Chains A and B, each alone.
Chain A
């Protein structure tokens, strides 16, 4: 048997940190990156006698996420305690939701490779608190606990096992991430761990009706590792089954360096979390009006923008997809287009050069350092003929390095396009003199020779000559 005989079944539990100003049960700030234990209070440190008070914003954000992913919102919900011991969990229980989550039975649509749409069902979205962080040997040996993250609000978005390939997983995650960004409930910074996934993978023979035993890989926080880990895990499971073995249901840790998964804990530690309703918190009751008000306040979602770009701007399906994949890119597109009135050029810049640089620098779109005004100005400078598009590429690179007005950059670097006829004529004549062979070729009907000559002129002017003028003048001079 081979890989083709197997079907892959993947389900995801995505944890997204909500971007509320304060924590879920106290008023400590949630900002990332502060010195250890500086964003804590007796409540999030789990001091004896303290009590949680639910942050209403957390409920609002979770309901937003539920509505944006087509979930039903529960009018009656509650908080439950999940009990286990770990040094990053100061109360020895995590306040989460067990049998009455805020949102249930939703879905997200993704585009499959064959050009169809596929619904990925969402089982539930619930709210919970994040744990702290352990620092191993970071501060002079030993393990120390940082509770800044303890109590930061999370939503856990649990999908049904509807995904059947790494491509689908990738699309689902990107779609989910963009939805959360659009509705502004999470900044989804994967490298800061504010958008991370537990991945459940199983395989079964296509002829089998029953699902295979699944394994779970916890806390994955990059698209690349998720893809690699799933691929590895599929191979591993198929190999085991092909050898007549059995898959153990277990939690695995993905090791980025070795590219392998490892078992996380021994089986005798099978956890019983002893969930029960948190007696410190009253039940969550939401009115129909409350839910409707949130529904009415939802911003335009990526799906709708995508359709609009295709219809209004005649963008290709693919280009529209790239732009709406990030709210930041999409806003950049809309704002810059509005300023420079050249949406075609703006979308081209975003799809090609900006995306390429983001990729090279491994940056998220929201880390783009320049403003939409800067991008619009860049487009206008080309449109006005002040700079050539090859110079513009250099300006863009500079805008990433040291963001400022493009005009300021070209002045400072002396990159203004030469459009002075006299100056260009001088260069053209010099190039023609130096390259008699090319002139002869052109006269003999080899059009390519013109490109070479223009290139020589560009080189001589360090790319600053106006290319249209060069073209025109070469033809005129040769034909004289």
Chain B
């Protein structure tokens, strides 16, 4: 048995049956990180020694029966834009290279309550802006399926770490597809919860009205379990909804009979890679065979989502990132003559080019004289997008699309072409615009062996519906048994 091959629910099983101990698990992951991290470069910070210490303590407490708990001692990796007290939270930016958070994000508190052990902070595009993790100030993370290719982004470190078995699961964040797209590129499961289901307190904001924290896991059951831990109303986040706490593993019924699936034709149009499309069509056929009712329909307004997304996301980012000004915990330029120059130079030197591009875009669309034409108009379109999804969910339980128009691409092939990079978000952004839950699961590989992701979109707070749909497909298709990155062997 290879410990790091296992899912979390498999680890739990082994712990319960005393086939494994907490320290064995933690040590196995620490060894795996030492072995594979040099090639994959998924972590910005690791704290393996501390993790081993913690594992030892947890194990002692379990032996003394001072601690029970189904997740005690399970390792995890955290995207580096989520604050953990006393540790660096860099957002993969030079700006925050030395920022040590003075507090825990609510999701970190949730994990600590369960005695889950963090192994480290994972790489990402700077401030979560990008789709390839190439915009990290620190390193370029590789796709474990092909080390010449990107892991996707912005949660590329999280997806690559899970795919390469360096962590059993991880937290990512998703503003326009940043959980789902890297999950799709790395052949793992990524869930973006409904806006308001998971507290954003302690997530360094990129675009406040779009950001959500969510799980990146090896399978759907793990995603449901991690969602159980992090989905909770939080008084510290007024945008978090006060809804009843659910057990998301209960909905995994392995049955889609009668499930109404809508397939929006705009998501299968020009610009979507043929192999991706064909694989999706095959999956749709399989759903039909499993008893789902599938229908094609038009989600016309979706074509405006991308423009709307980049206006709203950049506008909010331009304001959210203002606090990184060289005054307190951020990077500060070495020489300056006055306050204005301190600001200018610190921000010019501390931010990478993509971040600056988006701050400039966002500043522009909020400027007086342009606000109505861009920001206000974008908010109006946002309402239209929501309405159109609402209408669709009157007819369908689930909307099924590709997660990304393509599979993973070569490192360096798009990083100098921002527009092309933005277009890659076409399938995922409307989900954030409408605040809906979306999950990406692997549904095949292309001719070169790179994974292809399928996105299932649900209505607000209908995580259970998409989790069950995803689970049913997964149980039938058995992706993990059929395909594994060569890298793993």
Contacts and interface: CB of A to CB of B under 8 A. Distances in A.
A145 interface: yes
Given A81-B319, A91-B323, A274 B236 contact: no
A278 B239 CA distance: 11
A272 B322 contact: no
Contacts of B339: 87
Nearest to B211: A279
Contacts of A451: none
Contacts of B236: 51, 53
Contacts of B82: 49
A406 interface: no
Given A53-B237, A274-B363, 14 more contacts: A48-B329, A49-B83, A49-B205, A50-B202, A52-B238, A53-B238, A83-B322, A145-B328, A272-B367, A272-B368, A274-B319, A274-B368, A279-B207, A280-B239
A34 interface: no
Interface stretch (B51-59, B95-103, B279-287): B95-103
B239 A85 contact: no
Contacts of B99: 48
Contacts of A280: 205, 208, 238-239
B362 to A, nearest CB: 9
B463 interface: no
A30 to B, nearest CB: 19
Most chain A CB atoms below 10 A, which of B81, B99, B202: B202
Kindly name the residue among A52, A85, A93, A272 whose own CB sees the greatest number of chain B CB atoms within 10 A: A85
A279 B89 contact: no
Given A93-B319, A279-B209, A274 B366 contact: yes
B238 A279 contact: no
A279 B101 contact: no
B102 A281 contact: no
Contacts of A48: 83, 89, 91, 96, 99, 101, 204-205, 323-324, 329
Interface string B180-214: 00000000000000000000111111011100000
B315 interface: yes
Contacts of A90: 323, 328
A274 B367 contact: yes
A54 interface: yes
Interface in B402-433: none
Instruction: Rank and list the top 7 A-B pairs by shortest CB-CB distance, nearest first.
Output: A92-B322, A279-B209, A279-B208, A274-B366, A48-B204, A49-B202, A49-B83
A49 B366 contact: no
Interface string B314-355: 011011001111011100000000010001000000000000
A51 B237 contact: yes
Contacts of B322: 83, 85, 91-93
Contact of B201 (A46, A51, A91, A274): A51
Interface in A41-61: 42, 45-54
A349 interface: no
Contact of B323 (A46, A279, A281): A46
Interface of B: 81-83, 89, 91, 96, 99, 101-103, 105, 200-205, 207-209, 235-239, 315-316, 318-319, 322-325, 327-329, 339, 343, 363, 366-368, 371, 375
A282 interface: yes
Nearest to A90: B323
A281 B371 CA distance: 20
Contacts of B371: 274, 276
B327 A50 contact: no
A408 B99 CA distance: 62
Interface string A277-312: 011111000000000000000000000000000000
A279 B316 contact: yes
B91 A276 contact: no
A315 B465 CA distance: 76
Nearest to A273: B368
A272 B371 CA distance: 11
Nearest to A84: B322
A53 B201 CA distance: 11
A281 B99 CA distance: 26
A284 B23 CA distance: 50
Contacts of A52: 238
Interface in A233-272: 272
Contacts of A282: 238-239
Contacts of A93: 319, 322
A276 B371 CA distance: 9
18 contacts: A46-B323, A48-B91, A49-B81, A50-B202, A53-B235, A53-B236, A83-B318, A83-B322, A85-B322, A85-B325, A87-B327, A90-B323, A92-B325, A275-B366, A276-B319, A279-B209, A280-B205, A280-B239
A146 B191 CA distance: 42
Contacts of B209: 279
Nearest to A48: B204
Contacts of B325: 85, 87, 92
Contact of A47 (B101, B239, B367): B101
A377 B316 CA distance: 63
B205 A42 contact: no
A49 B323 contact: no
Contacts of B208: 278-280
A83 B315 CA distance: 11
Contacts of A145: 327-328
Contacts of B105: 49
Contacts of A46: 323
A329 B378 CA distance: 55
A281 B101 contact: no
Contacts of A45: 328
Contact of A49 (B89, B239, B324): B89
Contacts of A49: 81-83, 89, 101, 105, 201-205
Nearest to A87: B327
A81 B363 CA distance: 13
A135 B237 CA distance: 32
A45 B323 CA distance: 10
B319 A51 contact: no
Nearest to B379: A277
Contacts of A50: 103, 201-202
Contacts of B207: 279
Nearest to B322: A92
A281 B209 CA distance: 10
A270 B361 CA distance: 20
A23 B97 CA distance: 30
A238 to B, nearest CB: 32
B363 A42 contact: no
A92 B322 CA distance: 5
Nearest to B316: A279
B238 A276 contact: no
Given A85-B343, A272-B367, A51 B238 contact: yes
B204 to A, nearest CB: 4
A414 to B, nearest CB: 62
A218 to B, nearest CB: 18
Contact of B238 (A54, A81, A272): A54
A23 to B, nearest CB: 14
Contacts of A85: 322, 325, 343
B154 to A, nearest CB: 16
A278 B201 CA distance: 15
B236 to A, nearest CB: 6
Residue with the highest number of chain B CB atoms closer than 10 Å, among A49, A81, A90:
A49
Contacts of B204: 48-49
A259 B171 CA distance: 61
Interface in A110-139: none
A45 B82 CA distance: 18
Contacts of B203: 49
A133 to B, nearest CB: 14
B328 A276 contact: no
Nearest to B327: A87
Nearest to B342: A87
Given A47-B102, A279-B208, A92 B238 contact: no
A92 B347 CA distance: 13
